[in-house]
Each structure stands twice: as structure tokens, then as C-alpha cells.
Amino acid sequence: MISQKAKYALRALAALAQSDDACPVQISDIAKKRAIPKKFLEQILLELKREGYVESRRGKQGGYLLLRPANDITFGEILRLIDGPVAPLPCLSQTAYRQCEDCDGESQCEIRHVFARVADSTRNILFNTTIADSVSGVMVPELLKA
């Protein structure tokens, strides 16, 4: 399962993707429209800003804008940023690999073989689905066949 923080980050990015590119969106507007607690949203947007996904503008007409195009931001990279490794088992993580505590050999592990397919399919969808795809409602059919 993904965390509430990751869901809120994805919702906030979708809200920014749906806005006019030239007009910053205020935190209070995103919070209200996307049902995100304002204080929590502030923390999330600061993290997204630090990582180069959004920028902020000060002043009366200030707010947040996407720094990268929505079709260049994948669900997978946001989930990995917010929640950490995108893997059902630690031995299947691409970024934080570690052997399972009770492992007696990965090559013979039936559980690992099944979940490796799950992880591959999941990563394929998450890292090939962008924020732009989600707001347009377009899902790539080839990905869903995996």
C-alpha cells in the first residue's frame, strides 16, 4: 500500500498539472480542491520543491508551479521519493536491496519468483505512467497487459 503522504503528493502534482502553466496555484486552493490538510501539504510541497519537481513564487499572486512537465513525472519516481523502495520484498528492491532475514537462497525461493513478476509488472506501470497520463485519463493499454 502507498502512504497517505504519497497519495497527497500525487494529488497535488495532478492539481498543478491541471492548472494554467503560467499561473501559480496557492496551497490553500490545492488543499481545498484535493482534500489535503494544508499543513501537511506545505511539508509535501517543500519536499517536492527540494527535489526539483515544483517551484514556488512569493507574493500576492504567488503559489506553486510544476518545474518539470507533467508528462515527465512518473508515479513511480514520486512513490519512490515519498515512500522509498517500490518492491514487495527487500530482496526485490532496485534501490535498497537487502536479503530477506530468513533467506536460504534467492534462486530457490518460490515466493521471490512470484513476487518478482509482481514487482516487475508494478514498476512497469508506475514508471511508465505520468502525472499527465493520470489527469488526461489516458492509460497506456500495453502496460495494463503485463
Residues 90/102, Cβ–Cβ less than 8 Å? no
The three grid cell numbers given for residue 105, joined into one nine-digit string: 537462497
Q: Are residues 15 and 60 in the same domain?
A: yes
Q: Tell me, yes or no, whether 91 and 60 share the same domain.
A: no
CB 56 within 8 A of CB 64: yes
Question: What's the gap between Cα 92 and its chain centre?
Answer: 19
What is the C-alpha to C-alpha distance for residues 106 and 8, in angstroms, rounded to an integer?
A: 35
Give the integer Cα–Cα distance in Å for 38 and 118. Answer: 35
For position 104, what pLDDT does the model report? 80
Asked if residue 11 and residue 60 are part of one domain, the reply reads: yes
* Domain contains 79: no
Domain span at 140: 86-144
Q: The pTM is what?
A: 0.85
pLDDT of residue 67: 93
> Is there a single domain that holds both residue 53 and residue 95?
no
pLDDT of residue 131: 96
Q: Which residues does the chain have with pLDDT short of 70?
A: 138-146
Say what the pLDDT of residue 146 is: 47
What are 14-48's pLDDT values in tens digits? Answer: 999 998 777 899 999 999 999 999 999 999 999 99
